[in-house]
DNA sequence: GGAAATCAAGAGCAGTGCTCTCGTAAGTGT
DNA sequence: ACACTTACGAGAGCACTGCTCTTGATTTCC
């Protein structure tokens, strides 16, 4: 198994699973997660709804699969932006990654809402989503790390009460970077999400008009807060 | 009408409307907006589901009413924090307001998700929600304004491409403040939302441990970005 | 007091996620 | 090649949802 030559049955299963996800993603993009209907997906694929449960044991499992895909798609967009600007200055790369995130969000609003929207009930992020979710963060770390290796990173200071926390985060995610930088990076990451979310979810309606320019400026200041220049 | 002495019918209508909202809010807080059911609300109130439509023409209208209430509740919390610290330094007041927002969000996660979550389908924010939604922003403006009247506000600089946008925002929301400050304030507001949202929606899981300290620090830097000190 | 508006209740429609059963087809071991 | 096990699609059905329409009673207003 796991070879190219798999049985006809396994091959069909993979194809059908992919077709289900594809149609589900279409409905998600068109109408949002709330209106995603298993029965409608099955109907569109010409199968009966109960047959779909052979491939996804529940609606939530389908949504989880879509979440992982969305995380990966967003992560790819961020990584592509970082790679494409690999030779540029750190600050340019930073804004390139941030703008890639924003563009992806504007192009896939329902997917963005699905992953960064409101999964409040306690917590429920299945294990499988975690590595995919970390890709954007890892990309930002990579940009900062490149700056750190060059001369492009300023030192920050940190209140004493936050030092242990910062050292723990640094040890977990980027032992080669100064703890102050890692702490600032995590905050900047959350704030990037705030900027994108506010625009996407309509909070900038009748407040910010030139959102592109506004975003670029805000994101530049974010980078400065991390020490890039 | 609109006097204290209203007919028994109007009085009953107000009471029932309030009871519906109360029960709906209970279900919202307990299980989230997705699981809020008109029929369950009616059932709990001992009435038949169709009767409920005399008070709210649709589920969305009920949710809209809850959204307005949530905005007002959050706005009140922010204003209370600003008032309680009216004599303190601007930076202290700023963090007090931000921490009040965070506390409210942690105490009312489903309500917070309802108002700042994902209303993506195009846009649909009904007129009535706008003034309520603006209260937190107005509170932050008030804190900065007080600092501006005193000696507590540093001047910022702004790239030229953003100047017209900043001047427009200032003219709309705070003509007495420098446009640079208003632009920075809007960005800080969105970033505050990002910090709260990331914590609330579980993105800090296994990333940030001492969230209280982390938040306080991030919010202090936010204030510095607006020019408070 | 009578006309008009308001209301609760019930039945009903179309849709949902999900479960269970049943006959059939595909893969597996001997 | 035969029997056995597993995977699968189809259908019926359950409990639930938002919402509409009709019916009969109650309240309000002229």
- In chain A, which residues have their Cβ closer than 8 Å to the Cβ of B161? 213
Note the pLDDT tens digit of each residue in A61-82.
Answer: 999 999 999 999 999 999 999 9
| Residues B108-125 pLDDT 10s | 999 999 999 877 554 466
Average pLDDT, chain B: 93
Helix (H) or strand (E) holding A82: helix A59-84
Q: What are phi and psi of A94, to 5 degrees?
A: -55, -50
A-B CB pairs within 8 A amount to 165
Instruction: Give the closest residue to D10 (Cα–C1′).
Output: A48
With beta carbons less than 8 A apart as the criterion, state whether B188 and A187 touch.
no
The pLDDT value recorded for residue B154 is 94
Q: How many C-beta atoms lie closer than 10 Å to residue A49's C-beta?
A: 13
Residue B178: φ, ψ to 5°: -65, 140
Which residues of chain B have a CB within 8 Å of the CB of A197? Answer: 116, 190, 193-194, 197
Residue pair A56/A65 in contact (Cβ under 8 Å)? The answer is: yes
| Res B73: pLDDT | 98
Tens of pLDDT along A172-201? Answer: 999 999 999 999 999 999 999 999 999 999
**Cβ neighbours, 10 Å, residue A187:** 25
Residue A4: DSSP 8-state: S
Q: Which residue is nearest to nucleotide D29 (CA to C1')?
A: B7
**Which nucleotides of chain C are near protein (any atom < 7 Å from a CB)?**
6-12, 15-21, 26-28
What three-state secondary structure class fits B228? strand
How many angstroms separate the CA of B108 from the C1' of C25? 53
Q: What is the pLDDT of residues B20-36, one digit of tens each?
A: 999 999 999 999 999 99
Which residue has better confidence, B184 or B10?
A: B184
Q: How far apart are CA B90 and CA B92, in angstroms?
A: 5
Q: Is B213 on the interface with A (CB under 8 A)?
A: yes
Is the per-residue pLDDT at A106 higher than 90? yes
């Amino acid at each position: 198994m796991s070879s190219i030559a798999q049985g006809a049955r396994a091959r069909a299963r993979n194809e059908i699973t992919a077709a289900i996800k594809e149609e589900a993603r279409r409905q998600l993009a068109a109408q949002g997660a709330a209106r995603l209907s298993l029965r409608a997906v099955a109907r569109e694929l010409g199968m009966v709804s109960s047959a779909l449960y052979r491939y996804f044991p529940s609606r939530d499992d389908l949504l989880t699969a879509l979440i992982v895909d969305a995380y990966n798609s967003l992560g790819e967009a961020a990584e592509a932006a970082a790679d494409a600007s690999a030779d540029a200055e750190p600050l340019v790369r930073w804004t390139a990654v941030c703008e890639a995130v924003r563009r992806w969000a504007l192009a896939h609003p329902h997917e963005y809402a699905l992953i960064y929207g409101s999964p409040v009930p306690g917590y429920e992020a299945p294990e499988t989503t975690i590595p995919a979710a970390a890709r954007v963060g890892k990309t930002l770390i990579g940009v900062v790390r490149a700056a750190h290796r060059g001369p492009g990173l300023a030192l920050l200071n940190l209140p004493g009460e936050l030092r242990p926390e910062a050292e723990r985060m640094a040890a977990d995610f980027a032992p080669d970077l100064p703890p102050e930088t890692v702490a600032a990076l995590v905050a900047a990451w959350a704030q990037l999400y705030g900027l994108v979310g506010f625009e996407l979810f309509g909070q900038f309606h009748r407040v910010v008009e030139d959102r592109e320019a506004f975003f670029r400026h805000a994101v530049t200041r974010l980078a400065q807060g991390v020490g890039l220049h």
